[in-house]
Structure 1
Amino acid sequence: MTPWEFRVSAYTLLASFFLRVSSRQVNVTIDDEFGDDITGAKPVYSPDTGLWTQGSTCTGCGVRSIAYPQGEVQASQAFHGTWHDATYLSGYGSPCAVTLTFNGTAVVVFNLIANAGVEQTNTNTSVDFFLDGALAGSYLHEPDSEGPSVLYNVPVFSKSGLPHQPHTLVMQADTTTFSLILFDHAIYTVDDGSDVNDDHVDHVEWPKWHPNELDEYFK
């Protein structure tokens, strides 16, 4: 998928999120650390060999919180101030992956993206997405030294028009290259089975940006 095609897809899905709130649709957040706001189900990180770490408290990560020396990430810009960090080196063991489960009709995944080069740290991001066992998309970002060091709330995958049933989404490092994954959160849309008016919207967790701000990520 080209950057332009992805931008159009993201615009379409995000627009549907905002419009559906006035009907029977509710948006639910899955946080990297605290899990699903409704069910409590947490993301599953694999392999269980220490590749994944909580980025907000990591002292050994190349891209880390500014609370630590040479840190680049403003924790206040991440959803709930947390993100999960993993680096995959092509050819070295199983690729790192995060698995999300949800019951809904649409989903968007948001990552932090390391944009500027960090000394002795791989900041290339290349991931594949598998929805219900089938390849559903990919995302690639190569660092731009002229841009900001970190991009926040970047939509790396979106899918709408799903049947309203349980789904499994896996974000996995591209096995052909080096890849840094900084998973922040995901939002999925669920039909709660009743009419939803404005009084029911205040519990929905919205992205921190307006859809027009996507432009800066897809130049």
Structure 2
Amino acid sequence: MENNKLLLHCSLLMLIARILFLCFMTMAGATAEGLRNVTIDDRYGDEITLTVPTYLPPDAWSSRGNAQPNASLAYNRTWHDTTSHPEHAANNVTFNFTGVSLFVYCIIANTPPHSSQTFDAFANYTFFLDGELVGGYKHDVEQTEDFFYNVPVYVNQTMENKFHSFSIVPYSKEKPVLLLFDYAIYTKCEGHCVNASPSSQIPMHSSTPANSTDALPSTLPSQANTSEHHSSVWIIVAVTLAGAAVFLLSGSFLFYRFRQANRATRREAKLWRQSRFIVQSKPRPTSETQGRGEIAEKLKGYSADTQTAASAVPLDSSIEDPVMNH
């Protein structure tokens, strides 16, 4: 029975140690950078806040224009497109977020098939971050009928961790501009983090086609060292905490074994004292007790009316009643 209890206790200790170790390692991996990528879809909006981008003017945007890319290659099979003309006010799309980096993806069109309706495919975008001009993107039409998907038209990994507003304005003074906005990804800081992306790779939901000549570089070596440094620090902390947990569990196990051994020793001592008391308390046959036994045998048959056995009178029918002297 004691062995079964001991095995059960050991199993529980090992299970607790394993769970603690896994928890520490998971926590270290989750908080190594404190960063999380969040997607803003063109139709369904921010996957956390569910806030949908604002399209202005509303009647100038649709997903049913003449430019019809392959829906299966677009994120969530959706996009918003608009065409801005030089003689009209520029259209724009705006979304808000709180994060330290931003990646904006569009679908880029080229010369349309001759069998379909023609449309303008020139891409010329201007970007505004918190009301300030921060860059642009331009793609001249190529002599191909292909669409380019998941093209990162804007990348910024040096942003201050605060609330931001970002706008895309498609416009050109020379000719119409087509914009097919697909989605954006921003990096959210959820703990102790630095102003860097959680990975040196530009996040996207599928690879950019090789013939997309305007795709931005996919690696940022300057950010990798910072990520590796913070990851190693948190791994060391996690391993240290896990070791401390195992040490405490081992100490509790040894203390438990000590208590069990101490209890067994006290139990054996108690049993030994009880057995010694029983042996010593047995009546011993002595001459005195034997004499008393013989006297008791002799007193059998005497009257119990007297106060003591010594003054008892034997009941003998041959003895006559005493005669009182007058």
**TM beyond 0.5:** yes
Which of 72, 82, 93 is 1:76 aligned to? 72
Residue in 2 that maps onto 1:91: 87
Q: Corresponding residue for 1:123?
A: 121
Structure 1 match to 2:35 = 25
The answer on whether the counterparts of 1:116 and 1:150 sit within 8 Å (CA) in structure 2 is no
* SS of residue matched to 2:211: helix
Aligned to 1:184: 182
The aligned counterpart of 1:138 is 136
Residues 117 and 144, structure 1, Cα contact 8 Å, conserved in 2: no
Looking at structure 2, the residues matched to 121 and 161 of structure 1 have their Cα atoms a distance apart, in angstroms, of: 37
Residue-by-residue CA offset, 1:47-92 (whole Å, 9 max, x unaligned): 13x1101x2xx2xx2112xxxxxxxx11010000000010011112
User: CA offsets per residue over residues 6-37 of structure 1, 9 Å max, x none?
Assistant: xxxxxxxxxxxxxx995211000000000000
Residue matched to 2:60: 51
Higher strand share: 1
Amino acid across the alignment from 1:52: W
Is 2:42 aligned against 1:42? no
Structure with the higher fraction of residues in helix conformation: 2
Counterparts of 2:67 and 2:39, CA distance in 1: 24
1:161 partnered with 2:158:
yes
Structure 1 segments unaligned to the other structure (5+ residues): 1-19, 65-72, 196-200
Instruction: Name the SS for the 1:216 alignment partner.
Output: coil
C-alpha change, 1:194 and 1:163, in structure 2 (3 Å) is: closer
What is the rounded CA distance, in whole Å, between the counterparts of 1:131 and 1:194 in structure 2? 24
Question: What secondary structure, in the 3-state scheme, does the structure 1 residue paired with 2:204 have?
Answer: coil
Give the Å deviation of 1:116.
2.5
The answer as to whether partners of 1:33 and 1:42 remain within 8 angstroms in 2 is yes
Alignment check: 8 A CA contact 2:85 2:171 kept: no
Q: Which runs of 5+ in 2 are unaligned?
A: 1-29, 215-326
Count of residue correspondences: 173
The whole-number CA distance in structure 2 between the counterparts of 1:120 and 1:78 is 21
Describe the superposition over 1:140-195 as per-residue Cα deviations: whole angstroms up to 9, x where unpaired: 1111114x521100001111111100000000012424100000000000111269
Q: Which residue of 1 aligns with 2:212?
A: 217
* Residue identity opposite 2:49 in structure 1: T
Give the whole-Å Cα distance in 1 for the aligned partners of 2:168 and 2:151: 14
Q: Over alpha carbons, which structure has the higher Rg? A: 2
Aligned to 1:68: none
| Other structure's SS at 1:217 match | coil
> Structure 2: which amino acid aligns with 1:87?
T
CA distance 1:193–1:124, change in 2 (3 Å): same
Residue among 94, 101, 104 paired with 2:99: 104
Ranges of 4+ aligned residues in structure 1 off by more than 4 Å: none
1:215 offset after TM fit, Å?
Answer: 5.2
Check conservation: 1:117, 1:143, Cα contact below 8 A. Answer: no
Could you tell me whether the CA contact under 8 Å between 2:94 and 2:165 is conserved in 1? yes
Identity %: 31
